[in-house]
C-alpha cells in the first residue's frame, strides 16, 4: 500500500499569504494524485486531480504540481474561506486508494 506523508501538519497564516503544502509518496504514483479541501461539518471538495488539473469551479489561486513521489498544492493568496484541512490522495494502481494525513491551514 502506498503511504502519503503530508507536511507540515499545521500551518498558521494570515489572509493574503501564499501557501505551499507538501505531499510525499512512499513510491512513485506518477501523476495520479489529487488534493481535497475539508471543512468541519462539510463534505470534502475536490480541488486538483492528475497532480495539476483544477476541478470544475475551483478558483485559479489553487494550483498543483509534482510527479513521481513529491507533490505540492499552492494557494497563491489565502482567502478567509480557504482555512481548512487539505488532504492529498493517490490512485496509482488502485485499489486501494490512499489519503495523506492532512495539513490544517489555520488563521494566525
Partner 1 sequence: QVRLVESGGGVVQPGGSLRLSCAASGLSFTMYGMHWVRQAPGKGLEWLAFIRYDGSNKYHADSVKGRFTISRDNSNNKMYLEMNSLRAEDTAVYYCASDLGGYFDWGYFDCWGQGTLVTVSS
Binding site for partner 1 (CB under 8 A): 32, 34, 36, 38, 42-46, 49, 55, 87, 89, 91, 94-102
Nearer to partner 1, 43 or 108 (CB): 43
Q: Which of residues 17 and 28 has its CB atom nearest to partner 1 in the complex?
A: 28
Q: Which is nearer to partner 1, 32 or 71 (CB)?
A: 32
Q: What does the H/E/C string look like for the chain?
A: CCCEEEECCEEEECCCCCEEEEEEECCCCCCCEEEEEECCCCCCEEEEECCCEECCCCCCCEEEEEECCEEEEEECCCCHHHCEEEEEEECCCCCCCEECCCEEEEEC
Dihedral sign for Cα 80, 81, 87, 93, please.
negative
| Cβ at position 16, least distance to partner 1 in Å | 28
Closest CB 14 distance from partner 1, rounded Å: 26
Shortest spacing between CB 100 and partner 1, in angstroms: 7
Residue 97 or 107: the one with the smaller Cβ distance to partner 1 is 97
Amino acid at each position: 500500500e502506498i503511504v502519503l506523508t503530508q507536511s507540515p501538519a499545521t500551518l498558521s497564516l494570515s489572509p493574503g499569504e501564499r501557501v505551499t503544502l507538501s505531499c510525499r509518496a512512499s513510491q512513485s504514483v506518477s501523476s495520479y494524485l489529487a488534493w481535497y479541501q475539508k471543512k468541519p461539518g462539510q463534505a470534502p471538495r475536490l480541488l486538483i486531480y492528475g497532480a495539476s488539473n483544477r476541478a470544475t469551479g475551483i478558483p485559479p489561486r489553487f494550483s498543483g504540481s509534482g510527479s513521481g513521489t513529491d507533490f505540492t498544492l499552492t494557494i497563491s493568496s489565502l482567502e478567509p474561506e480557504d482555512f481548512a484541512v487539505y488532504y492529498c490522495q493517490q490512485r496509482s494502481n488502485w485499489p486501494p486508494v490512499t489519503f495523506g494525513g492532512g495539513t490544517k491551514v489555520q488563521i494566525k
